[in-house]
Chains A and B, each alone.
Chain A
Amino acid sequence: MEWEVVIGLETHTQLKTNTKIFSGASTTYGAEPNTQACEVSIALPGVLPVLNKQAVECAIQFGLAIDADIAPRSVFARKNYFYPDLPKGYQISQYELPVVGKGKLTIQVPAGKHNDAYEKTIHITRAHLEEDAGKSVHGAVEGMSGIDLNRAGTPLLEIVTEPDMRSAAEAVAYAKKLHELVQWIGICDGNMQEGSFRCDVNVSVRPKGTEKLGTRREIKNLNSFKFMQQAIEYETQWQIDTLEDGGKIQQATVLFNPDTGETRAMRSKEEANDYRYFPDPDLLPLIVTEEDKARVKATMPELPEAMKARFEADYGLSAYDAAALTASRDMADYFVAAVQSGAEAKPAANWVMGTLSAKLNAEEKAIADSPVSAQQLAQLLKRIQDNTISNNAAKQVFEALWLAEGEVDEIIASKGLKQESDSGAIEAIIDGVLAANPAMVEEFKAGKEKAFNALVGQAMKASKGKANPAQVNEILKKKLT
């Protein structure tokens, strides 16, 4: 039987606010345990929550970015359960009425073994505001567990998709796109190591062509795209194997072990808590007016989709190139800066996506930290454009720029890379080549096109690569006909 995997994601996005969602305590990561736990964070008797407006603005920004319905009235609810890192014995979240409703996100799925690259629209069910819990620290004190409440009350936006994804590649493409988007609009620092962006992935399988969803298992707390890919692939195969062996899937929460590459059930949903959600009487309903939305919208950067359309229209870039350049805000900013410094759009796009990206990847550097600035790249492209250097020479200049050996023109001069465009000098070189290779000339005259290329190659070699290839072509053609 052929199987189909069905995947939905729940992503906890830590919002980039200065203070916690319901108190004035700082949200800075990495402080000494419990130094950022105020009386509200530790849930002393009598304390009350006050909603952080900055967190609400982040939620509105996200809603606007995914073209979602933003609820004019949403409600905070208490999710009740006991755990040592949950100081109040309940988490303040949103349940029946979330702040962000249905929206959508278009993803680019890269080419794989069995498919070309394609676009797909993923539907977002909802996004709601909630507070994070603290952390249990095991083993800090001999034989005891400690509680660090610095993180308790950190604002989160939980973003939930429809079960729209059909492969690990789609799920990862969605997660990457979302990861870029929340950083693009500046609501999340995207730091996955510090837990700023954590994904829970719901996976089920069903016979291909059927409608009914299979029983799902939820892979909790994935904090890297690589692990997500591995976990989904393992989980999918496990579910298929289980069903093919005649077994049944139990709804469960599972954890991924990066060391073994396996997923394992943590607890079955049958033992799940009854969270006894009810509206939090300490907080008023959250009201978002049209004016609020307009005010937030005015502060937002141009969104990737809009920028992509603009790149296509203004610069004549292909949809693929425009999408690739707008995959991250830093890359888009770099490209725009290069064009604004005088580079032509198409070659700039090719260089940013090609040579520059390859080098950044190889050196594990972010584009924001690129040693070659957008202005330098623009200057380099100008020198190709005005025939000062060849494409090949440009690559050498790029390497030198990367190593901070100087500015573009200095490097061209010091390395002697300026190409030969004096037609008299090129003619002399070609005459020499023709005289030295009579056999090739004969072959060409006998109709072998390849011989022409060989002669061009000889001429370039004789010029030590400095001759302008277009001129070599032109003069050679004239002489042979």
Chain B
Amino acid sequence: MINSSLINSSLTQLSQMLASKQISSVEMTQSFLVRIQQYNPTINAYIALDEEKTMAQAAAADARIAAGNAEPLTGIPFAQKDIFCAKGWKTTCGSKMLANFVAPYDAHVISQFDAAGAVNLGKTNMDEFAMGSSNETSYFGGVKNPWDFDRVPGGSSGGSAAAVAARLCAAATGTDTGGSIRQPASLCGFTGLKPTYGLVSRYGMIAFASSLDQAGPMAKSAEDCALMMNVMAGFDARDSTSLDRPKEDYTRGLNALSGDQPLKGLRIGLPKEYFAEGLDANVAKVVQDAIAEYRKLGAETVDISLPNSQLSIPVYYVLAPAEASSNLSRYDGVRYGHRAAEYDDLMDMYMKSRAEGFGAEVKRRILIGTYVLSAGYYDAYYLKAQQIRRLIAQDFTEAFKQCDIIMGPTAPSTAFKAGEKADDPVAMYLQDVYTIATNLAGLPGMSIPAGFATNSGDKALPVGLQIIGNYFDEARMLDVAHAYQLTTDWHTQMPAGLE
């Protein structure tokens, strides 16, 4: 039963199909695996597949459905970013360093999906240790953007992004340290949410920059993201930065939206810094049109300022590498992971193993991080960056006094061509210019499909609208996104040729 009604169905529809025995989880999962076999050799979204494990989960889900204790995601096949440890699965984080690492335990996110009865279709490609915005730093090769195979899907969650866009899964997980869920969502035309820092446990999620990393859903719609958030979010004592707060139902407001102006009274803040130089004109046009649509839905817009925005990238590229340089020290070739075949002594083993095991971008960030933490430089770089980080967070606190939600572009451009920015790290870093500040502030951010932009001679490429909420305001953000998705159909569009 490979048909567009299955691959384009929402999670709720898939759940209903399973509940009504229209299709079994085994059949549904098999359908996606067939699509993966067909398209993955080209797109390279998945880097680990294990049909036996996947089908065993599907069979278990069918038994659970038959027993009448299914949950909303039971039996539905998901793709998991290869940053999450999953017991018995190869877990590589996109690196040669972990190319042969089989995780002996489950990340919190993985066990949450398992407990919900979801099926794990496989592990998705990603930039090495989540460092990148194009998926080109992966040891396992780049990923094709399903809208244009010459282009990148964004990163670092590029494999999950392509899998969602190409309908190679019902939905996927991602992680976002500086924009790694939202920028690929923008470039591949789907809905992605980075929750408030601390909402989803980081236990078992391989660390890049601990104070910024946050897992979230990548799916076709806000409604799907809400259902996934119900599974992913929640306190976990194994992560000291996990927030101990009552469980929420993120779908609770979705069906309450009614009338012509469901968002009446909503104040949308438009940061002037997000519409300034550096933003592609075609992207700006799509974003403005989306905001106009929001006005039609009853929202009002307020001009706001985030005066320290321009410091986000420099601050991020001090703090994230600093944490990464320390987080990646455990990959030393001693206990697991890549070890050089030949070496003279201990120091030589460290140096060769790490020189061979890490790619260029990872090494670049380890070097930057080591530098900014070094004696004599710490105050000027790390400490200063921490101070500015607080100012950036303060900008948002001030802004949220004037508005309920902030909107702007997710990324400065549409998907760029593979290789285009690979040799220019700074141009690559600028991909996250609008997303990084929310990570620094710990705020939730979202990207939803807002239309397409076509540059002369190119294919039409998706554009994302970014929605930034206040702390723990995910439910409202999902409502706001859902209201838009009820009146537009950008999020239902699918790349041509993959039907």
Contacts and interface: CB of A to CB of B under 8 A. Distances in A.
A and B are interacting partners: yes
Interface of A: 39, 42-51, 78, 80, 82, 84, 87-90, 147, 274, 276-278, 281-284
Given A46-B204, A48-B203, A276-B326, A39 B104 contact: yes
A79 to B, nearest CB: 10
12 contacts: A44-B336, A46-B205, A82-B332, A89-B332, A90-B326, A90-B329, A276-B325, A278-B373, A281-B323, A282-B207, A283-B240, A284-B240
Contacts of B240: 48-51, 282-284
A44 B98 contact: no
A88 B330 contact: yes
Contacts of A276: 325-326, 370, 373-375, 378
Contacts of A84: 332, 334, 346
Contacts of A51: 240
Interface in B323-349: 323, 325-326, 328-330, 332, 334-336, 346
Q: Which among B206, B238, B334, B336 has the greatest number of chain A C-beta atoms within 10 A?
A: B334
B356 interface: no
A343 B332 CA distance: 65
A278 B322 contact: yes
B319 to A, nearest CB: 9
A284 B209 CA distance: 15
B237 interface: yes
Given A44-B336, A82-B350, A282 B241 contact: yes
A45 B101 contact: yes
B238 A46 contact: no
A80 B371 CA distance: 13
A78 B204 contact: no
B204 A87 contact: no
Contact of B335 (A43, A46, A49): A43
A80 B325 CA distance: 9
Contacts of B202: 46, 48
Instruction: Classify the interface of chain A: helix, strand, loop or mixed.
Output: loop
A284 B198 CA distance: 12
Contact of A282 (B101, B210, B330, B332): B210
B204 A47 contact: yes
A278 B334 contact: no
A45 B98 contact: yes
B211 interface: yes
A277 B372 CA distance: 11
Contacts of A80: 325-326, 329, 373
Contacts of B101: 45
B170 interface: no
B326 A46 contact: no
Interface string B340-378: 000000100010000000000000000000100111001
A48 B336 CA distance: 17
B236 to A, nearest CB: 9
A278 B378 contact: yes
Given A45-B93, A80-B325, A90-B329, 18 more contacts: A39-B105, A43-B335, A44-B103, A45-B98, A46-B84, A46-B103, A46-B202, A46-B203, A46-B204, A48-B202, A48-B203, A50-B237, A84-B346, A274-B375, A276-B370, A281-B211, A281-B323, A282-B207
B311 to A, nearest CB: 20
Nearest to B201: A48
A88 B334 contact: no
A277 B373 CA distance: 7
B206 A50 contact: no
A50 B236 CA distance: 11
B91 interface: yes
Given A278-B326, A281-B323, A46 B334 contact: no
Contacts of B163: none
B51 to A, nearest CB: 25
Interface in B215-243: 237-241
A473 to B, nearest CB: 76
A274 B377 CA distance: 12
B107 interface: yes
Nearest to B202: A48
A78 B85 contact: no
A43 B105 CA distance: 12
A80 B350 CA distance: 15
A47 B336 contact: no
Nearest to A149: B335
Nearest to A40: B238
B203 A47 contact: yes
B434 interface: no
A281 B329 contact: no
A82 B323 CA distance: 16
Interface string B75-111: 0000000001100000101000010010111010000
B210 A46 contact: no
A190 B93 CA distance: 44
